[in-house]
């Protein structure tokens, strides 16, 4: 019989996709208000993998990835997604989004994205949100899966997530666990004593 154990907290990762890069400042301010201090910011990356967003947001699109100092409990991802959905809506113009926000979390063994779309490989989290297993970590690198979106399998994105993983490992060693403000839960400060991810 397996006994329930508390998992380690995760590194919150948010991908921001937009045409008007000047929107990054008010969006980052909104995210900081909800999630706490930012500790990593990627360079801008071109986004040319699909035309899906162009009718709503225009072109050319660029992406930036940011992460947060406060580690989160894994079961708060649905709350994070709902919060980022509201931020998208607040910055919409005439019902058209100006920015797409993809939140997820990173562990040593995997990278998970939150989505409102159901599919065979996605696990329901509650609140209408699903967890998408986007990448797994094997043999020293993140590996794509048959359903991984091409932009998350891009070498530049994989290099970015490897840097995030190194920071996450440092955070765990430092016991970087604080109160999660999204649902009032508190992460255990004894990070190393939690079950493996």
Query: Rounded to an integer, what distance in angstroms lies between the CA atom of residue 43 and that of residue 63?
Result: 8
Model confidence over 64-80: pLDDT tens digits? 999 999 999 999 999 99
The pLDDT score that the predictor gives to residue 197 is 65
Q: Which residues of the chain have pLDDT under 70?
A: 176-197
pTM over 0.85: yes
pLDDT of residue 176: 61
Q: What would you measure as the largest C-alpha separation in the chain, in angstroms?
A: 55
What are 46's two structure tokens? 């071109």
Domain segments of the chain: what residues?
11-193
Q: What is the 3-state secondary structure (H, E, C) of the chain?
A: CCCCCCECCEEEEEEEEECCHHHHHHHHHHHHHHHCCEEEECCCEEECCCCCCHHHHCCCEEEEEEEECCCECHHHHHHHHHHHHHHHHHCCECCECCEEEEEEEECCCEEEEEECCCCCCCEEEECCEEEEEEEEEECCEEEECCCCCHHHCCHHHHHHHHHHHHHHHHHHHHCCCCECCCCCCECCCCHHHCECC
What are the structure tokens assigned to 15, written together? Answer: 């991908």
* Whole-number Å distance between alpha carbons of 192 and 187: 12
């Amino acid at each position: 019989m397996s006994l329930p154990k508390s998992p380690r907290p995760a590194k919150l990762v948010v991908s921001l996709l937009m045409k008007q890069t000047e929107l990054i400042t008010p969006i980052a301010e909104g995210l900081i208000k909800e999630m706490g201090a930012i500790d990593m910011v990627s360079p801008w990356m071109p986004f040319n993998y699909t035309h899906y967003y162009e009718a709503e947001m225009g072109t050319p699109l660029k992406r930036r990835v940011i992460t947060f100092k406060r580690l989160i409990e894994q079961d708060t991802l649905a709350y994070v997604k709902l919060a980022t959905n509201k931020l998208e809506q607040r910055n919409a113009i005439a019902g058209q989004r100006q920015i797409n926000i993809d939140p997820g979390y990173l562990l040593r063994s995997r990278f998970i994205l939150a989505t409102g779309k159901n599919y065979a490989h996605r696990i329901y989290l509650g609140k209408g949100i699903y967890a998408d297993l986007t990448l797994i970590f094997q043999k020293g690198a993140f590996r794509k899966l048959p359903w991984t979106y091409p932009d998350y399998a891009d070498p530049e994105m994989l290099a970015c997530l490897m840097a995030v993983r190194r920071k996450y490992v440092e955070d765990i060693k430092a016991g970087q666990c604080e109160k999660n403000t999204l649902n009032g839960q508190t992460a255990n400060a004894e990070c190393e004593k939690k079950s493996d991810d």
